[in-house]
Amino acid sequence: MGATHGAARAYVLVAAAGALLCVLPALRTGAGTPWATVGLLTALYLACELPGRCPFFGSSVPIGAGSFFPLLLAAAFLLPPAAAGLVAIPGSLAGRVENRPAAARRVWRAAQLAVTVGAASLVHGLLGGAATLGGSGTDRLPDLPYALLPACAAALAFSLVLAALDGSILVAAERLPVRRAWDGLLSRSLGPHLVHGLAGLMMAVLWRGPYGPVSALIVLLPMYISCWVFAQYHREHAAHRATIRALVQAVDIKDAYTRGHSERVGQASVLIARELGMEQGRLEVLRFAGILHDVGKLGVPTRVLRKDGPLTPEERRVIELHPEYG
């Protein structure tokens, strides 16, 4: 949504109107909306998203606008569709957005998640999921084996609707071809969303249990911390790869004659290692070693690397030192 043209703006507005229609039943007088549960879940979700806006935490917080899905799926299991959709809106509007236009992205994300959580709640309710969660007292225990089916079906609906909306905004805002917009969206997200659904189910069961919402934090807090650790690992891994790419690009710029050679050596090294039956953990190290095998050329004078004629014995000795520099 880099340049939000007319079609993208119109699509975001349509999505916002659709989300409003989805949540309106919960706002009507006499709807019987459980406002205490809605308010507490909304506050928890907002608390998960706000650290991303805080300069103290910065980008070290793993949660972007509307991304802490276990809590949203717990809301889908605990609340009727309209009320569940309301939970997603404040956190999505207040969460971190890394790219412009921020306002349009926040409105889109809030609308998208309101519809998605509402759809998951609808599927969960149609399959009788609410009855399997147990009651607020010890007299109604959760029907755990049977609670898995509606919870997994709701997580599947969540993943399908989210992928459908993600692909559609790519068509409208990024002008991707329709055949490419949904490529891989569902296959990449379905597994994680099913895991999020199980975490949401544990939270919902604890919420309905004898100790109430406080016990649900037993699930919420460790999951939030694990998300932070996982994001830190991926951030460090991405920084490592970016550093290696920068070094290789510097070598290619300095010695244009062998441009692309380092990448090809890395790929060839991995192919040979696979044929030798090396373990997966060593393949990545070997690929980086192959990519960086010529990095010592940065210590060789450019005039020597780019010399057209034969090298003098002294110049050859300088070039032969590049493995040691590397």
**Max CA-CA distance within the chain?**
93
Report percent pLDDT > 90 for the chain: 26
Please report the pLDDT score of residue 38 as a whole number.
Answer: 94
pLDDT digits (tens, 9 = 90+) for 218-227: 777 777 777 6
Domains of the chain plus CATH, in order, are: 6-220 (1.10.1760), 238-325 (1.10.3210.10)
pLDDT digits (tens, 9 = 90+) for 75-121: 999 999 999 999 999 988 887 777 778 888 889 999 999 999 999 99
Q: Report the C-alpha gap between 322 and 326 in whole angstroms.
A: 6
Q: What is the pTM of this model?
A: 0.69
Cβ-contact 275, 244 below 8 angstroms: no
